[in-house]
Chains A and B, each alone.
Chain A
Amino acid sequence: MRSMERYAALITLMAAAGAVLGQDQPETKPETEEPAAPPIRWNSFSIGYGNWDISRNRGKVFQYAHPRQGFDLREFQGLLPGDGVRSPWGKLSLHGTWESDNIQRGTLIFGNGRARLDFGFDRSEFYDPTPLPVDASHERNADVRVSYRPADHWGLFAVYKDKTQEKHYAAPKPRTATLARTVAVGLEGDLGPGHGGVTYSETKHHDRSGLRAGSTQRRIDLFYGWQANEKLNLEGVFSNVRIQQRGLRDSNVRSWGVHADWDFTPMTSLAFDFRRQDLSMPNVENAYVRKRWTTGLRLDHRFSSKANATLGFEHREAERVRADQTFVDVPKWNTWNGRLSGRLNDSLRYSVRGKWEHLQRAPVMVDIDPRSLYWDDRILLDARLDYHWDRLNAYASYGYRFLQNSPRNVEVTSNHLALGAGYVFTDRTQGYLEISNDTYRSTGVRDGDGYDLDWFFPSQTTYALGVNHQFSPATSLTVAVSHSVTNNDNPLLLPGGNYRHTELTATVRHRLNDHYSLELVVAPWTLRDRVNDAYGYRATMIGLNWSMKF
């Protein structure tokens, strides 16, 4: 309750600040004559200062990225507006701080617009979401891509990527450190009556933590597509992947497939897919798939400008073998899927999708418990309504998922409901409200100790609310709140599953003139872990940004 009061006071304060700033700059009077176009400013520069006050689990706040702390470069964007012929066209953008998170990206187009260079470098710092003292994890990425189009209908490219990751976890999980380097070259263009391409890539993967074997993956991809005429489209694809692992025998995955579309009436089309994969995994000791086939047909029909219907069928087979290449079994799956979408009127759009996958022949399980570990039925259903009228846009979405393993007598059902609406109250004020709810139910497993599988499938509800108000053409306030709560039985009393999470972010923006603007951000966030409060946090961030356009 105290935090609610705190949030209400904060919003009131920021609204008051916005109102005061908004008063300083009266609304522009309507011009009687067409104003002269202002000079164009393509470049922008924004710096900011942010500070956090965090209690308890700092790792959870820093789980995915580094929040602002101290001075940071919010954005630098520079444009070189060349024409690509006499002078290059270029763009450079920089974000972040040198110590923690930063992103740099650039593009250069030259050579009559036919050559393009893209490059980027980024670094991020994040933490295992635990209150225990754990070192920071890091990821660094660098990539360069050069492409050149010597003729109108074909081009070539070369790519280099470098990804370094070092992740630290709470004990007993050991640190992982990996480096992956990829080089790829490709050629694509018109060939004969169709369009084709070839790509070769080599990825070297080093495990610096020594937990897993390093590997080299060499991959070649070929594709060819032929639009035979306005109604018939044919495509084929082939790929071969060779995987070398240090101290192990080489593995190989070869895939090929064909796809065709035929519009047999202007409103109806039939699509056909066939894919085959041959896998050679001489090191794998347990049963694995040696061959896999997938065949599918899909019928699409457009009833009128207001409805589309799709009905598809897919059959999949997988031949499994043991390490000594002795045959195990061939599980088979049939999948039916359908979709109906369209408009009921100019304001209302609907979509219903369904999928039913059935395991036709159960696999053989060589285990203490020989019952199948595969789901023998999966049913998915999604329905959605979108409404858009004048100032209101709203949606309602429902998702149903059912999984069944008959031999083990397990059923897992989930229902997802999401409702959302955005409304433009006035020309100055708009807002949105969204509610989403996930409920799960599982049946069939209840062991001797009285444990029920359903206890491990918690439900959750999330509310989100946002308002944007413009006090004057120069001053605006945005307030966004989200609140999530779980309903978790959690019989083992583990942290991370029972929580209430609230994030509020309020931003006041004020444009000083055509060049400069100021922004104030206040974000109090709380996470309450109801099992172990050390896993929750209370954090407040305050940030101030100054931006200019030039």
Chain B
Amino acid sequence: MKIQTVVLILGVASLLYGSLETQQTSRSAQSSASKLFARAKPDDFMGDDYCLDCHREKTVNFKASAHSAVMNDPNLPASRRGCEGCHGPGAIHQADENPEVIVFRKMDAKESSAACLRCHESTLSENHWKRSEHAKADLSCVSCHQIHPDSDPDLPHGALRKNADTKKPVFTARVESKALLRADEATLCGSCHGPQTAEFRLTSHHPIPEGRMLCSDCHNVHPSKNEKVSRAADRDKCVTCHTEFQGPFIYEHDPVAGHGGEGCAECHKAHGSHNPKMLNSFSRGLCAQCHTDKLSNHYPGQTCWTSGCHAAPHGSNTSPNLLRP
């Protein structure tokens, strides 16, 4: 408990000091979107019909977005309604002196995200977002999301559709990606995560290229407010689909149960593998890397689990040696 206690004390002490110190500091600078809305008077909000005159196509196309249906609520304040809810008050946009409008693609990533988070703060605060890996890579909400269905469809860095073009036309049905994304998830995520895309090309993989899964089925892309500390263990994510392995079993297999190691990832590669069953090594090599005394002396043929012996490697309710479920 020694290190545990030191880390605990260090963490709590610095945060107590932080809370005392920050009580005396003034609020940090507002985002440019917040400043614009703070500058607006009630009369500056002119309604969507006013936008229609010049931006007819954008305004009409917006109706195809689920976003539009939640922004017409008459109970919302004008600063959160319709076109002006995102782009700022129409009167200031048209003003002769110091005109201003929020154009998300032309803002820097931090400002652009801050503008979205004005409303989406209930699920994701600026503080959460700025600590995410995506924010650190200078991405903003509009790097992945498309609010107008007719928005610029170019993907980050002009990426091609890669896997999607290899498999998508070949299989029967495909899970629809979440609403308001700029492309299907495999394409969108793959446009930056190239090495992971490569793993899905291997013969044993999670069926994302075939259209039966989405990246977001496993990955929580946004660190929502309750995600930071309740990070589900990897095994919890896997057994959502692989329900038969959720246990607990009377005879647990330690690495599967996640007692000491990485849970399912101890044996499986999550994206794809050149070994059958997405294993990180071939055949009995998988078991022998821990059970070193059982490479071939123990039994010389086949894999440990298909030889008819250890048929329940994930855990068993009947056999201490995991011979049967």
Contacts and interface: CB of A to CB of B under 8 A. Distances in A.
Nearest to B194: A420
A380 to B, nearest CB: 11
A460 interface: yes
B296 A451 contact: yes
A85 B302 contact: no
A138 interface: no
Contact of B173 (A103, A165, A371, A422): A103
A31 interface: no
A458 B297 contact: no
B137 interface: yes
Contact of B15 (A262, A384, A422, A440): A262
Contact of B282 (A178, A308, A458, A484): A458
Nearest to B157: A393
B248 A281 contact: yes
A60 B160 CA distance: 27
B169 A543 contact: yes
Given A397-B194, A422-B157, A484-B203, A114 B281 contact: no
B170 A416 contact: no
A418 B197 CA distance: 10
A493 B199 CA distance: 24
A72 B172 contact: yes
Contacts of B7: 295-297, 313, 315
Contact of B127 (A180, A233, A308): A233
Nearest to B205: A64
A107 B179 CA distance: 10
Interface string B209-231: 01110000000000001101110
B249 A373 contact: no
A458 B281 CA distance: 7
Interface in A69-112: 69, 72, 79, 81-85, 88-89, 91, 93, 95-97, 100-103, 105, 107, 109, 112
Given A494-B303, A499-B203, A453 B170 contact: no
Interface string A486-497: 101010101011
B284 A288 contact: no
B285 interface: yes
Contact of A236 (B210, B229, B248): B229
Interface string A250-282: 010001011111101010011111110000010
B325 interface: yes
B276 interface: yes
Contacts of A33: none
A213 interface: yes
A230 B171 contact: no
Contacts of B259: 288-289, 318, 320
A436 B297 contact: no
Contact of A449 (B3, B8, B296): B296
Contacts of A315: 3-4, 7
Interface stretch (A1-9, A16-24, A427-435): A427-435
A15 interface: no
A373 B11 contact: no
Contacts of B157: 386, 388, 393, 422
A491 B184 CA distance: 42
A322 B102 CA distance: 62
Contacts of A442: 281, 285, 289
Contacts of B4: 293, 295, 315, 317
Contacts of A81: 63-64, 68
A212 interface: yes
A284 B158 contact: no
Contact of B201 (A223, A236, A349, A462): A462
A232 B15 CA distance: 8
A457 interface: yes
B131 A300 contact: yes
B201 A482 contact: yes
Interface string B41-67: 000000000000000110011011010
B179 A482 contact: no
Contacts of B138: 343
A478 B165 contact: yes
A442 B285 CA distance: 10
B153 interface: no
A472 interface: no
A109 B70 contact: yes
A240 interface: no
B283 interface: yes
A446 B149 CA distance: 60
A427 to B, nearest CB: 12
Interface in A435-471: 436, 438, 440, 442, 444-449, 451, 453, 455-458, 460, 462, 464, 466, 468
A296 to B, nearest CB: 7
Given A349-B137, A456-B283, A373 B291 contact: yes
Nearest to A85: B72
Contacts of B325: 211-212
Given A102-B173, A313-B7, A285 B250 contact: yes
Interface in B287-323: 288-293, 295-297, 300-303, 306, 308, 311, 317, 320
Nearest to B245: A212
B295 A492 contact: no
B226 A225 contact: yes
A89 B246 CA distance: 39
A408 to B, nearest CB: 5
B116 interface: no
A229 B308 CA distance: 61
B96 interface: no
Interface of B: 1, 3-4, 7-8, 10-12, 14-15, 18-19, 21-23, 25, 27-28, 56-57, 60-61, 63-64, 66, 68-76, 122, 125, 127-128, 131, 136-138, 149, 157-162, 165-167, 169-176, 179, 192, 194-195, 197-199, 201-203, 205, 207, 210-212, 225-226, 228-230, 241, 243-244, 246, 248-252, 254, 257, 259-261, 274-276, 281-286, 288-293, 295-297, 300-303, 306, 308, 311, 317, 320, 325
5 contacts: A83-B69, A84-B68, A103-B174, A231-B25, A262-B14
Given A85-B74, A229-B27, 12 more contacts: A65-B211, A93-B176, A109-B66, A269-B131, A289-B259, A296-B7, A334-B3, A371-B292, A432-B160, A436-B199, A456-B283, A541-B170
Shortest beta-carbon contacts, A-B, top 10? A456-B285, A84-B69, A96-B173, A89-B69, A272-B11, A262-B18, A64-B207, A223-B226, A113-B70, A436-B198
